[in-house]
């Protein structure tokens, strides 16, 4: 019985150590360049020091379109505190649709058309929309969101990242 308890304690200790190591080793965001619809380019390196939401979306994605007012609101409310948003339109989205959507909705953050799919590939071969990555001030991915998400939990995570 004592050997079993010692064995279980060892397994628990190893599992806890592995979990701690996984949580403390946040994945670095890929160092990609984003060129927006106005021809301005920014890299992930240049965004260091900010909390950044990189959001993959498409004009044909009803969930993406439904989330856009909240995405705009979060950006507007938090940009003065060091929060930024990059909207990445998927490779299959017609550029004219993306430009029209961006203009008619007056998106206040940079919108990028990922024409060759290289940005989606760099972020782990993103294929589903909406997919978003929350990146901390040091350039680490702290959360990945797929589809709908809990807005209160999202805002709590953003607030924590802005405070650190």
Is 8 domain-assigned? no
Model confidence pLDDT, tens digit, residues 37-59 = 999 999 999 999 999 999 999 99
Is 4 domain-assigned? no
Residues facing residue 52 across a β-bridge = 84, 135
Model's pTM, two decimal places? Answer: 0.83
CB atoms within 10 A of CB 104: 8
Is 159 domain-assigned? yes
CATH number, domain with residue 85: 3.40.30.10
Model confidence pLDDT, tens digit, residues 49-96 = 999 999 999 999 999 999 999 999 999 999 999 999 999 999 999 999
Q: How many domains does the chain have?
A: 1
C-alpha pair distances (Å), 133 with each of 3, 58, 71, 72, 119: 45, 16, 13, 16, 12
Q: Cα(40)–Cα(67) distance, rounded to whole angstroms? A: 25
Model confidence pLDDT, tens digit, residues 105-150 = 999 999 999 999 999 999 999 999 999 999 999 999 999 999 999 9
CB-based burial label for 125 (10 Å; 0-12, 13-18, 19+): exposed
Domain extent, residue 80, equals: 28-163
């Amino acid at each position: 019985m004592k050997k079993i308890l010692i064995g279980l304690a060892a397994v628990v200790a190893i599992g806890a150590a592995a979990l701690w190591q996984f949580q403390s080793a946040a994945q670095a965001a890929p160092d990609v360049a984003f060129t927006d619809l106005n021809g301005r380019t920014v890299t992930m390196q240049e965004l260091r020091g900010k909390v950044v939401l990189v959001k993959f979306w498409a004009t044909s994605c009803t969930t993406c379109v439904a989330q856009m007012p909240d995405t705009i609101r979060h950006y507007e409310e938090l940009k003065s505190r060091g929060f930024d948003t990059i909207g990445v339109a998927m490779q299959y989205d017609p550029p004219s649709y993306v430009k029209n959507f961006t203009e008619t909705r007056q998106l206040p953050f940079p919108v990028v058309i990922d024409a060759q799919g290289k940005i989606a590939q760099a972020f782990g071969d993103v294929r589903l929309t909406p997919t978003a990555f929350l990146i901390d001030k040091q350039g680490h991915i702290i959360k990945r969101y797929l589809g709908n998400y809990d807005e209160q939990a999202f805002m709590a995570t953003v607030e924590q990242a802005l405070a650190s």
